[in-house]
Structure formats: structure tokens, C-alpha cells
A and B are shown apart, each in its own frame.
Chain A
Amino acid sequence: GAVVSQHPSWVICKSGTSVKIECRSLDFQATTMFWYRQFPKQSLMLMATSNEGSKATYEQGVEKDKFLINHASLTLSTLTVTSAHPEDSSFYICSARDIGGPGYGYTFGSGTRLTVV
């Protein structure tokens, strides 16, 4: 079945630095990928929709200059958290859609735990 790989699975960075998270569709092409953020004991919150070859669409309240999304190929989307601060510490999850997969193919990555110190 469709597999979405996220890397790294966890990262610790210093306040003020930038962190890049990769989301890859391993055996299918994904023109659209989605990025979520999840705080402890809360649900997933959609941050943005990443479209291959075009600009990402951000949800209301999400700072596009802080969370840079690049979807340069049909199998890779990246999320860069710029000038990270402790409040950006969270669990970041990506999702990609494989139209041929079950449930219309919304497959999720295993997530990236970001800790900003």
C-alpha cells in the first residue's frame, strides 16, 4: 500500500535556528500533500496544503513566512520552521493522497517531534 515517509522522526534545535522536515511519498506520486501540527493531548490541526509546482495554501492563522513549504517534486514536500522558538515545539505530521489507495488514499507519515530549546 501507499507509504509516506517523514524525516527526521525527531529533532531538537536551538531557539532562533531553522529546521527542515521532509515528507516523501515512497511508491506513488502525490500532487498534493498536507501538513498538520499536533500539540500534546490535542487533535491534529491542518496547517497548509502543499501543491506540487505551486505555492502552498495556508490555513487561517498559520504564518506562511514562518512555516515555509516547498513541493518541488511529485514525491517530496518539505516544511521548514524558520527562527524556531519553544512555542513551535510540537508534533508535525504530513499526509499525501494516492488516488489509487484505500479511503481515497489519504496516507499519513509517522510524524516528526520537534523540540526547540
Chain B
Amino acid sequence: DAKTTQPPSMDCAEGRAANLPCNHSTISGNEYVYWYRQIHSQGPQYIIHGLKNNETNEMASLIITEDRKSSTLILPHATLRDTAVYYCIVRVGAGNQFYFGTGTSLTVIP
């Protein structure tokens, strides 16, 4: 029941900014946008979340368009350890469940 669309894969040069897009055109007014990442054979790790305003923390920045139909996760200086699958999630069910989409597999290249 995921309501997000992400490119299946992306490459990024080490040290450069990685910009990961996500489309969520059917997002509701009270639904947050969450970003998690999953490194191979580990559980997902929280990165950032937002509702309307752009957000920044020690890991990343989240840019949400004014109409909230899309967002971009920015890793400002990608390292090899950022190689992972990145999930954009906007669907939170009636019981606060997370439904994962297919995600973007980011490969940081030396």
C-alpha cells in the first residue's frame, strides 16, 4: 500500500552530494514524509522526516515541494558507508503502520 515512487537505483561519487527523489502525489495533508535506509542484511535506520518545511539534521536534509507531492533527500557529502537502499515512506496506516515501497539502491563510487 506504499504511495511512493522512487528510482530503483542511483550512483553517486564519493564526496559529492547525493540527491534522492521521491514522488508522493497522493499524500494527504496530515501525512509525514519519512526517510529510512537499509544497509545490506540490517534493519532499516531512521534518517529524517518532515511534514511541510524543509528539515536538516546531522545525517541529511529533506526538501519537500510546496505542493508536497514530491521530496528529495540530500546526503551532502556521500561516503562509501552511505551505500544502501533508501526508502521514502508516506503511508502510515490506521494503526500507525509503515508500508515500504521499493526504495532506491544508492551506490557510492570511490
Query: Residues of A at under 8 Å CB distance from B?
Result: 4, 6, 32, 34, 36, 43-46, 49, 57, 91, 93, 95, 97, 102-104, 106-111, 113
Contact = CB atoms under 8 A, between A and B. Distances in A.
16 contacts: A34-B98, A43-B87, A43-B100, A43-B101, A43-B102, A44-B38, A44-B100, A45-B100, A46-B98, A49-B95, A102-B46, A104-B32, A106-B98, A109-B43, A111-B42, A111-B43
B50 to A, nearest CB: 10
Contact of A97 (B38, B96, B103): B96
Main secondary structure of the interface of B (DSSP, over half): loop
A24 to B, nearest CB: 13
Interface string B36-80: 101001111110110000000000000000000000000000000
A95 B46 contact: no
A90 B43 CA distance: 13
Contacts of A93: 43-44
